């Protein structure tokens, strides 16, 4: 099926799925406090200080999956806010459950197209952007749907403060090469040397390792 005329190409599969009772209970109780809908028709600026109820550096997590890694990072990094964006409703329910079980107050959970939400953010408003194991769209004819494209990178970089970090990870070697080429080509990003992995392991990362695929982390700082 072709994309509607003038509509941006989707970089994700819409995924709803069925919530468990744990996820549904957490969603009912905590979505009004920690949740954020980002429908396509919403264009109003998003004030992160208001969203988190305090001025603080904010990390944007695009596609957090089941949210285990996001919750772990936020728990050990309470001075920063974590804004996670996902389209998979069981994952949203799981992250909300983790928020309640661990008493986390520095996470907000958004449902919708991440790039649509990013366009609502002010330039220089983010401390970091995490893109961990995005949909690889492995077929060549679908590569145009990959999130890490020059136009998207320019917008993500613009939302970073000077010195802010863009951190991407993938278990697909050809996507890793494409990511590196795209990110290296951005004149306002500088690649950081590899370092020991500090981020928590994700479910998609474990799947990639079990399938024998190498894990690539790419870290860039905005000039």
C-alpha–C-alpha distance, residues 1 and 196, integer Å = 42
Is 127 designated active site? no
- Looking at residues 62-74, what average pLDDT do you find? 97
**Mode of pairing for the β-strands spanning 160-170 and 216-222:** antiparallel
Instruction: Judge whether 16 lies within some domain.
Output: no
Token pair listed for 166: 């863009």
User: How far lies 139's CA from each of 142, 146, 193, in Å?
Assistant: 5, 11, 30
Question: Contact, 104 vs 74, CB < 8 A?
Answer: yes
Q: Check which CATH number belongs to the domain holding 182 and give it.
A: 3.40.50.150
* 105 carries a ligand binding annotation: no
Instruction: Judge whether 85 lies within some domain.
Output: yes
Instruction: Judge whether 2 lies within some domain.
Output: no
Instruction: Judge whether 8 lies within some domain.
Output: no
- Looking at residues 83-112, what average pLDDT do you find? 96
Question: Contact, 118 vs 154, CB < 8 A?
Answer: no
Question: Contact, 130 vs 59, CB < 8 A?
Answer: yes
Instruction: Judge whether 93 lies within some domain.
Output: yes
User: How far lies 187's CA from each of 162, 178, 179, in Å?
Assistant: 13, 16, 15
* 135 carries a ligand binding annotation: yes
Instruction: Judge whether 3 lies within some domain.
Output: no
Per the structure, how many domains does the chain have? 1
* 171 carries a ligand binding annotation: yes
Question: Contact, 51 vs 36, CB < 8 A?
Answer: yes
Let me know the angle formed at the C-alpha of 218 by 215 and 61, rounded to the nearest 5 degrees: 90
Instruction: Judge whether 218 lies within some domain.
Output: yes
Which residue of the set 49, 127, 135, 184 is catalytic?
Answer: 135
* 205 carries a ligand binding annotation: yes
The model's pLDDT over 8-53, given as tens digits with 9 standing for 90+, comes to 555 555 555 678 999 999 999 999 999 998 877 788 999 999 999 9
The model's pLDDT over 142-198, given as tens digits with 9 standing for 90+, comes to 799 999 999 999 999 999 999 999 999 999 999 999 999 999 999 999 999 988 788
Predicted pLDDT of residue 169: 96
Instruction: Judge whether 186 lies within some domain.
Output: yes
DSSP characters over 166-178? EEEEES-HHHHHH
Q: Which residues constitute the domain of residue 110?
A: 21-222
């Amino acid at each position: 099926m072709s994309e509607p005329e003038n509509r941006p190409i989707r970089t994700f599969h819409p995924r709803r799925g069925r919530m468990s009772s744990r996820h549904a209970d957490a969603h009912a109780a905590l979505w009004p406090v920690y949740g954020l809908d980002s429908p396509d028709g919403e264009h109003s600026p998003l004030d992160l200080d208001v969203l988190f109820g305090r001025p603080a550096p904010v990390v944007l997590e695009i596609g957090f999956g089941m949210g285990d890694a996001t919750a772990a990072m936020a728990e050990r990094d309470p001075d920063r806010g974590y804004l996670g964006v996902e389209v998979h409703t069981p994952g949203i329910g799981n992250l909300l459950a983790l928020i309640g079980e661990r008493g986390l107050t520095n996470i907000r959970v958004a449902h919708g197209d991440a790039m649509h939400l990013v366009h609502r953010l002010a330039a220089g408003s983010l401390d970091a952007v995490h893109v961990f194991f995005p949909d690889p769209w492995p077929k060549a004819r679908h590569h145009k749907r990959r999130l890490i494209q020059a136009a998207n990178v320019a917008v993500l970089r613009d939302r970073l403060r000077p010195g802010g970090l863009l951190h991407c990870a993938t278990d697909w070697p050809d996507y890793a090469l494409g990511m590196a080429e795209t990110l290296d080509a951005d004149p306002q990003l500088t690649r950081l040397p590899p370092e020991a992995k500090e981020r928590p392991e994700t479910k998609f990362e474990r799947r990639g390792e079990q399938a024998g695929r190498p894990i690539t982390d790419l870290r860039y700082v905005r000039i």
